[in-house]
Amino acid sequence: MYLFLPVSFNSFALFGKLHVNMVPKYNPSETETRWQDRWSADRLYQVTEESTSPKWYELTMFPYTSGDLHIGHWYAMAPSDVHARFRRMQGYNVLYPMGFDAFGLPAENAAIRHSIHPFIWTMQNVENMRSQLKRMGSCYDWSREIITCLPEYYKWTQWLFLKLYHGGLAYRAKAPVNWCPLCQTVLANEQVIAEGICERCETPVIKKDIEQWFFRITRYADELLDYSKIQWPERIKAMQTNWIGRSEGVEVGFGLEHPDLADQELRVFTTRPDTIYGVTFAVLAPEHPLVDKLTTPEQRPAVDEYVAHTKTQTEIERLSTDGEKTGVFTGAYAINRLNGERVPLWIADYVLLSYGTGAVMAVPAHDARDFDFARKHGLPIRTVIAPPGWSGRDLDEAYVESGTMVNSARFDGMTSEQGWQAIASYMESQSYGKRTVTYRLRDWLISRQRYWGAPIPMVYCDKCGIVTVPESDLPVELPPDAEFRPTGESPLKYCDSFVHTRCPACEGPARRETDTMDTFMCSSWYMLRYASPDYDQAAFDPDRVNYWLPVDQYTGGAEHAVMHLLYARFFIKAIRDLGLINFDEPFLRLFNQGTIIAQRHKMSKSRGNVINPDQYVAELGADVVRAYLMFIGPWEQGGEWDDSGINGINRWFHRIWTLVTETQEASFPAHTVNSEAEHELLQKTHRTIKKVTEDLERFRFNTMLAALMEFTNYLSKVATDKAVSAAAWRESLRDLLLLLAPTAPHLMEELWALTGNPYSIHTQPFPVWGEQLVAEEEVTLVIQVNGKVRDKIVVPISITQAEARDLALAQPRVKAHVEGKEVTKLVYVPRKLLNLVVK
RNA sequence: GCCGAGGUGGCGGAACGGCAGACGCGACGGACUUAAAAUCCGUUGGGCAUCGCAGCCCGUGCGGGUUCGAGUCCCGCCCUCGGUACCA
């Protein structure tokens, strides 16, 4: 329906080689694939380190091998392609690679459902997606392609795992971890999203106590909070900061009186030591190890029942009680050492074992949760921080702000901030408290009970224990003949040829680790591999990594804020400390494009609203689809896919085609006759160059295209008026093509060739504006009376205030509003406006 | 609840504190055509007024404020979207 119509050619002044009887029309499919083949054959986009130009590493998050590129992929990839092309034309030595995130559960599910091996399924998808990416007109250096599921890549993933292990950053531990019953695997905290559901399949996760492999990301918590070396969107930095959840407080020991305990202390973490005189009870998580020992015989039945009930609850149930604070008394007491008070010990599921010490001191007067709990269970509430103007009466709700300390013995009268420090110091001096920093961030759980991932290169030997696979034996390859069971159990576990091996240390019989690595491990270092994808001595060639890295510009979706983006930052810092690299951050600049939605919802296969760009590409060409996606609105805002406007871009490109191919250069005067018109053309051209350049720098593609449309409209008038010389016309047309080359690489290459220019437009320098040509000589001065616009006058830029005032007062429309009144004030903004305030 | 982004014509969206609505879509009118499509030209925030030319008033989620001047800055709300949530 959107087919380009035949363009009627009346003259061929620009390219006499075309025969008049031919009816040349712009056939996007033919033209675009022809140029794509040529670029590919010429290796136009391959780069090396041998260059005197400054380097620029531009990277887009590589796609998961789901099978098809939908419009969301295009929205992520086309604009970054434009930016990379722009940088290349600006003279940078640009590394702009592409690859595939190829491990993951969907491949394994396909194996179970359709009896196709994950490798075959994945590689078919890679083939398909690679050709779709090429059809987009992208300028990737395909000689550097990486596919994470190939042994030549995951060998180095395993190699890096061993480096972390030897560096003390990978460890195996038993812990209560998130288990997704549908995916049949554990998940990292970051992969459990809102309401405790699995990030991939949205199934509620449950807690399981199993031995797993972890990376010590928590060791880097503080450094991860330092964003001073990167230019990232505030929103992503805020999300990471919240996720890491650093909080400063005091770990306080409460005394315990119990005959069986070696350590007579209950440790709690608090951020409000200033409220310690308000403690009226303490609460332990139901799973807290002391619960069993402390519970008195009378309370045991109630406690046991509550603990058992908590265990059966899923995360969702436990969290969805909506503020309903349940709990039971253990019968035991602890001593608040500041005032010697005995406080009852309760257990309640609002206290989490995984945070802080798994126990809290409860100050109902100054904590909303403790307040609810105290109200519900009839526990006392004692005010120790007085709100401003406090009458001394009981509080109606918890007062959590700062105030003046009361009921706090010798700390009374201090502000809560002073009291915080004073009490913390006092407790430290008495050795039962210590200033501590606690984080919400947990170590990264990286093992998965799945087949389609990089095997963890570890061996279990009855004699030697846990033994690493020697580097020389890498990669530990996935067995091709594993059996995919409909139950979803890990195929590796039941693959004898894989499991049974020899111990690298003692040569005796041993078992392989059957867990594989989280796919986020593969994507934590892929940006390094692109620098030297052929290197076979290590994961990367230090020289080439030092040349290209860090990534100068990274682009991708915000959904990876606390997954991929956090893991990659950790990973770079970790291997820096192992001496493998010498920089601190993987991605210097980050730009997050928004989400493209359809029918008000995120596109998803399950919702059935996935837009496939192929039909649009076939009818209109990739150039039109690229440009339309960029024209919808600001890139960072995303937007709704609605094809009703796509014809506007189609028409515009058509107009450019006509303008270039039908305008006879010979019909313009050979020499300048109207210098004013020519000067204006020059100015408009250079102002457009400036606008387009600045917009490309800032990823403001929509306004860049608007400026180019305006410029095209202007050139159409110039082509009609023919008041400029042929040379001036040729120059401006040439700049139009160059400015649009990153956006519409095929059409511009075609027009560039048709106008007799040497191949290729994409190796040309980007136009540069002249400052003197963008400067204004005349400006439109807005004349206001009492802030309302009454007239506009065109004046030379050199006009003085007095001249402007006199000129303004002489305007009839201004006169009408000033006459008979007194001008009490005059606001003059040079080059902008003149405001007359009258009374 | 907390953090972040946003709210502007029929629609997508422009606008260093200084002409609100660039650019595009759609709609309407005209040219071309046997006709339609495509293309080209024109109009297009609302209201008043006008043969036409001018002209006047209102208008950027709501309510205040700062300023000669506010879509833009400040204070208080409402709504939408994204993230996060018993984190002590």
* Residue pLDDT, tens place only, A207-266: 788 889 999 999 999 999 999 999 999 889 989 999 999 999 999 999 987 766 667 789
Across A699-718, average pLDDT: 95
Instruction: Please say if the pLDDT value at position A354 is more than 90.
Output: no
| A714 CA, B30 C1': Å apart | 23
The mean predicted confidence, pLDDT, of chain A is 90
CA A218 to CA A574: how far, in whole Å?
A: 11
Closest protein residue to B24 using CA and C1' atoms? A648
The nucleotide minimizing the C1' distance to residue A351's CA is: B86
CA of A644 to C1' of B11 (A): 10
Q: What are A335's strand-pairing partners?
A: A255, A342
pLDDT at A2: 32
Which nucleotides of strand B are protein-proximal, with an atom < 7 A from a CB? Answer: 3-6, 11-16, 18-20, 22-26, 37-41, 54-57, 68-70, 82-88
* Length A837 CA → B54 C1' (Å): 24
For the residues A20-35, what does the mean pLDDT come to? 74
Rounded to an integer, what distance in angstroms lies between the CA atom of residue A816 and that of residue A806? 15
Distance A727 CA to B41 C1' (A): 29
Q: Per-residue confidence at A110, pLDDT binned at 50, 70, 90?
A: confident
Q: How far apart are CA A628 and CA A631, in angstroms?
A: 5
What pLDDT is attached to residue A323?
Answer: 63
Identify the residue with better confidence: A640 or A257.
A640
Question: Does residue A240 reach within 7 angstroms of strand B, measured from its CB?
Answer: no
Contact A815, A823 (CB under 8 A): no
The Å distance, CA of A1 to C1' of B27, is 21
Q: What is the pLDDT of residues A665-695, one digit of tens each?
A: 888 988 888 888 999 999 999 999 999 999 9
pLDDT tens-place string over residues A467-488: 999 999 999 999 998 888 877 7
The answer to whether some atom of strand B lies closer than 7 Å to the beta carbon of A229 is no
Question: Any idea which nucleotide's C1' is nearest the CA of A829?
Answer: B18
Rounded Cα distance, A575 and A220, in Å: 12
**Measuring from the CA of residue A648 to each C1', which nucleotide is nearest?**
B24
Report d(CA A451, CA A482) in Å as an integer.
Answer: 8
Residue range A554-564: average pLDDT?
91
pLDDT at A692: 97
- Please name the amino acid found at residue A175: A
> Within 10 Å of residue A55's Cβ, how many Cβ atoms?
15
- Chain A 687-706, CB < 7 Å to strand B: 700, 702-703, 705-706
Mean pLDDT of A130-156: 97
* CB-to-strand B under 7 Å, chain A 142-181: none
Instruction: Identify the residues numbered 434 to 453 in chain A whose C-beta atom is closer than 7 Å to any atom of strand B.
Output: 438, 440
Q: How many CB atoms lie within 10 A of CB A245?
A: 12
pLDDT at A811 over 50: yes
**Nucleic strand B contacts from chain A, 199-218, CB < 7 Å:** none
The whole-number Å distance from A627's CA to B41's C1' is 26
Q: Which residue would you say has higher pLDDT here, A170 or A105? A: A170
Residue A642 in tokens:
């609605």
Query: With 60 as the cut, is the pLDDT of residue A433 above it?
Result: yes
For A280-334, the pLDDT digits (tens) are 999 999 989 999 999 999 999 999 999 998 887 766 666 665 667 889 999 999 9
Can you tell me which residue has its alpha carbon closest to the C1' of nucleotide B86?
Answer: A350
Query: Of A67-71, A163-167, A527-531, A604-608, where does mean pLDDT reach its minimum?
Result: A604-608
pLDDT reported for residue A262: 66
Strand B contact with A272 (CB < 7 A): yes
The fraction of chain A above a pLDDT of 70, given in percent, is 95
Provide the percentage of residues in chain A whose pLDDT is more than 90: 67
State which residues between 643 and 672 of chain A bring their CB within 7 Å of strand B. 644-645, 647-649, 651-652, 654-655
Is A517 within 8 Å of A161 (Cβ atoms)?
A: yes
Q: Lowest mean pLDDT: which of A103-117, A305-319, A557-571, A691-705?
A: A305-319
Is residue A575 within 8 Å of A160, Cβ to Cβ? yes
User: What is the distance between the alpha carbons of residues A254 and A335, in angstroms, rounded to a whole number?
Assistant: 5
Establish whether the CB of A599 is closer than 7 Å to any nucleic acid atom in strand B.
Answer: no
Asked if strand B comes closer than 7 Å to A596 Cβ, the answer is no
**Length A824 CA → B65 C1' (Å):** 24
Q: How far is the CA of A742 from the C1' of B27 (A)?
A: 34
Predicted confidence at residue A16, as pLDDT, reads 31
| Residues A708-724 as b or e (16 or more Cβ within 10 Å = b) | bbebbebbeebbeebbb
Antiparallel, parallel or unpaired: β A359-362 and A833-838:
unpaired
The pLDDT confidence band at residue A178, using thresholds 50, 70 and 90, is confident
Peptide bond into A131 cis (omega under 30): no
A239 is near strand B: CB distance < 7 Å: yes
Question: How far apart, in whole angstroms, are the C-alpha atoms of residue A450 and residue A482?
Answer: 11
Q: Helix count (H) and strand count (E) of chain A?
A: 27, 34
> Helix, strand or coil for residue A250?
strand
Phi and psi at residue A302, in whole multiples of 5°?
-65, -40
Does the pLDDT value for residue A3 go beyond 60? no
Contact between A183 and A220 under an 8 Å Cβ cutoff? The reply is: no
ipTM over 0.90 threshold: yes
Taking the C1' atom of every nucleotide in all shown strands and the CA of A787, the nearest one is B69
- Residues A392, A395, A401: CA angle, nearest 5 degrees: 95
In this model, does residue A12 exceed pLDDT 70? Answer: no
Strands, E assignment, A408-464: 433-438, 444-445, 447-448, 458-461
**CA A207 – CA A319 distance, rounded (Å):** 14
Q: Which nucleotide is nearest to A236 (CA to C1')?
A: B4
How many CB atoms sit inside 10 A of residue A401's CB?
Answer: 9
Nucleotide nearest to A348 (CA to C1'): B86
A358 touches strand B (CB under 7 A): yes
Q: Which pLDDT value is given to residue A319? A: 64
CA pair distance A156, A152, nearest whole angstrom: 7
Over residues A456-466, mean pLDDT: 95
Please say whether the beta carbons of A79 and A593 come within 8 A.
Answer: yes
